[in-house]
């Protein structure tokens, strides 16, 4: 009985292994279609030392006997190449590069004429965009063939693509070799190469068994890259069995997203790392991902790749729950990490005449996204993700560029995505506090104000993270909430009063408060002293405003008076006692970063009880006598 599972060993521990596995799975899909068997249900699963590929039904020897020859990856046909073929009286079954370039040009001209709301990445996933009449996008292969052409490896790519086409009926024998190679773990490549050599001698096949490994699908290969000590660049790239390199190019078409980095000629390629995913779903998700993830600067693009793929997952999951999906894009997993782990990222430096691999890394997908068993939870997850997307997108200075401050913020956030620790995120929110106030100070139009995190969003991170769940005693503490409220009233709220309500006579804006608390966060006594100084000034300022209104009204203030005159609440001495107790239990750094994050976040708008903590009378205010 032929197997229903195949195994592709991880021999490089890079995206080359992933591309090979996905390329082989795609070959199996083409075979099943060719023999008119169901091709839906090919599952790629990462099981550690190898990828397992499970078929919905086996492929038998008799099946292969009725398989007609087919094209796997189409060779890239430029005008020059087409003319050469015409002179020889031949036609080339390939990818019409110039024709697709023309279609792309016309497509982008059409996009410029659309309303502004349909020219955004988010719009590409909407029904409204997908139902626009007479909007013809180029082939999904174009971006990959552009990369192949720009990286100047079109001739090498075409060599393996054309070799497969030229096999004709002998494709069946080559498929037999690949099925034998991957029939079990610990793939015996040497035996298969020897069997191919016998086949080549018998049928007088042109070409060697091995071809050069290209950096585009083997990011760690390069001249001198595989020597123990690369003291010279005279050594050429390593070679590999040509069929495996062909499959990697097929995997490149399916699972890779190549980009030119904004403002340069350097490149980055993102290859999806599957956990367990059906091949058609992977192909559909990557098509949608490439449509919504646009080129950006190097560090921002890493972040956006992670967030945009998560957005695609949630959107397709929503459509699945509504029963709206196309068959090839059905997402039935509730958890993002059940589908994919993240992206393997290769950075290629433009050297003028060629590209050189400068860095190979990985970026994780958001682990804080909740499982999505219901439509309501899908909508909630989408809202949380949009909050992060908007905040990351808006990190640019007045010239539309990323300066040193934006770079540091993006670095903190990328570290947060790449690891399993919330600490980089709290560093991000602490640094973002000063950035938020500064940017809003320079931008007087509230419609253009950069966005705050929401308290709901921050609490979601804590509840979804194993580490964060241990911190909920901090954020649920009443004293913590009231002091975070005081920070908010003295920073973003005070700035709003001044810029939007023209109220310049009441509350001072504490511009550097978040950074000051962050500076002292490592030292408990210094942090308590800095927080105490702030709260003393805050309560004194609050009491002065209360006195002014009370004298004007000539009676003690009521709750209605406070609300009518938009007076803020004071902080009691017991609140600082609770903060001191939290520091004893969790440390000053953790408490400080959480206070800053929550202090600069926006509150829910469900009602006064949620938006504003209970106000304390001025007689209970914290004073200098309570300092530690």
pLDDT: is 626 or 242 the higher one?
Answer: 242
Q: How confident is the model over 182-203, as pLDDT tens digits?
A: 999 999 999 999 999 999 999 9
Report the phi/psi class of residue 607: left, alpha or beta, with left for phi > 0 and alpha for psi in -120 to 50: left
What are 411-425's pLDDT values in tens digits?
999 999 887 788 899
Quick one: what percent of the chain has pLDDT higher than 90?
68
Note the pLDDT tens digit of each residue in 5-32. 999 999 999 999 999 999 999 999 999 9
Which of 387, 401, 385, 399 is closest to 300 using CA atoms?
401
Q: How many whole angstroms separate alpha carbon 331 and alpha carbon 343?
A: 19
pLDDT band for 328, please (50, 70, 90 cuts): low
Torsion angle of the four alpha carbons 242, 243, 247, 252, in this order, in degrees rounded to the nearest 10: 10
Q: Given pLDDT bands bounded at 50, 70 and 90, which one contains residue 400? A: low
| Per-residue pLDDT tens digits for 59-104 | 999 999 999 999 999 999 986 655 555 444 455 679 999 999 999 9
58/42 Cα distance (integer angstroms): 11
| Boundaries of every domain in the chain | 421-626
pLDDT of 223 > 60? The answer is: no
pTM equals: 0.89
Per-residue pLDDT tens digits for 155-189: 999 999 999 999 999 999 999 999 999 999 999 99
Helix, strand and coil content of the chain, in percent to the nearest 5, comes to 55, 10, 35
**Whole-number average pLDDT of the chain:** 87
In this model, does residue 615 exceed pLDDT 50?
no
What average pLDDT does range 610-619 have in this prediction?
38
More confident residue, 479 or 231: 479
């Amino acid at each position: 009985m032929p197997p229903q599972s195949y195994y592709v060993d991880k021999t490089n521990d890079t995206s080359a292994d992933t591309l090979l596995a996905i390329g082989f799975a795609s070959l199996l899909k083409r075979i099943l279609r060719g023999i008119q068997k169901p091709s839906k249900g090919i599952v790629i699963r990462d099981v550690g030392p190898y990828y397992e590929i499970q078929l919905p039904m086996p492929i038998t020897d008799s099946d292969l006997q009725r398989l007609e020859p087919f094209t796997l990856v189409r060779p890239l046909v430029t005008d020059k190449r087409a003319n050469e073929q015409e002179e020889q009286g031949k036609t080339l079954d390939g990818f019409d590069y110039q024709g697709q370039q023309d279609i792309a040009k016309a497509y982008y001209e059409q996009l410029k004429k659309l309303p502004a709301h349909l020219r955004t990445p988010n719009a590409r996933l909407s029904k409204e965009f997908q139902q626009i009449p007479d909007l013809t996008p180029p082939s999904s292969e174009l971006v990959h063939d552009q990369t192949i052409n720009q990286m100047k490896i079109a001739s090498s790519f075409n060599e393996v693509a054309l070799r497969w086409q030229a096999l004709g009926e002998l494709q069946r024998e080559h498929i037999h070799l690949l099925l034998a190679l991957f029939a079990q773990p610990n793939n015996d490549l040497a035996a298969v190469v020897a069997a191919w050599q016998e086949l080549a001698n018998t049928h007088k096949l042109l070409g060697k068994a091995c071809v050069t490994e290209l950096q585009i699908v083997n990011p760690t290969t390069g001249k001198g890259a595989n020597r123990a000590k690369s003291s010279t660049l005279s050594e050429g790239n390593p070679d590999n069995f040509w069929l495996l390199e062909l499959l990697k190019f097929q995997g490149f078409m399916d699972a890779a997203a190549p980009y030119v980095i904004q403002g340069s000629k350097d490149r980055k390629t993102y290859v999806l790392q599957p956990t367990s995913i059906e091949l058609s779903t992977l192909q559909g998700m990557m098509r949608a991902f490439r449509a919504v993830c646009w080129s950006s600067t190097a560090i921002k693009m890493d972040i956006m790749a992670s967030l945009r793929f998560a957005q695609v997952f949630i959107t397709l999951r929503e459509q699945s729950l509504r029963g709206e999906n196309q068959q090839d894009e059905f997402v039935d997993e509730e958890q993002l990490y059940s589908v994919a782990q993240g992206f393997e990222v290769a950075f290629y430096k433009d050297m003028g005449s060629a590209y050189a691999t400068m860095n190979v890394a990985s970026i994780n997908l958001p682990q804080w996204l909740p499982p999505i068993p219901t439509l309501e939870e899908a909508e909630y997850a989408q809202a949380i993700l949009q909050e992060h997307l908007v905040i990351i997108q808006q990190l640019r200075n007045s010239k539309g560029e990323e300066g040193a401050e934006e770079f540091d913020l993006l670095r903190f956030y990328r570290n947060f995505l790449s690891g399993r620790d919330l600490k980089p995120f709290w560093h991000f929110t602490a640094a973002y506090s000063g950035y938020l106030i500064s940017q809003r100070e320079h931008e007087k139009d509230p419609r253009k104000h950069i966005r705050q995190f929401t308290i709901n969003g921050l609490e979601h991170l804590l509840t979804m993270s194993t580490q964060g769940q241990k911190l909920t005693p901090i954020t649920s503490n009443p004293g913590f909430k009231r002091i975070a409220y005081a920070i908010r009233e003295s920073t973003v709220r005070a700035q709003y009063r001044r810029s939007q309500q023209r109220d310049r006579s009441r509350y001072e804006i504490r511009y550097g408060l978040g950074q000051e608390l962050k500076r002292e966060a490592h030292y408990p006594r210094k942090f308590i002293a800095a927080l105490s100084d702030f709260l003393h000034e805050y309560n004194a300022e609050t009491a002065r405003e209360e006195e002014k209104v009370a004298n004007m009204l000539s009676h003690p203030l009521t709750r209605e008076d406070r609300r009518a005159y938009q007076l803020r609440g004071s902080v009691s001495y017991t609140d600082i006692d609770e903060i001191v107790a939290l520091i004893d239990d969790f440390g000053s750094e953790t408490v400080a970063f959480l206070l800053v994050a929550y202090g600069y976040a926006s509150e829910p708008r469900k009602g006064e009880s949620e938006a504003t903590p209970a106000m304390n009378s001025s007689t209970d205010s914290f004073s200098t006598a309570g300092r530690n």
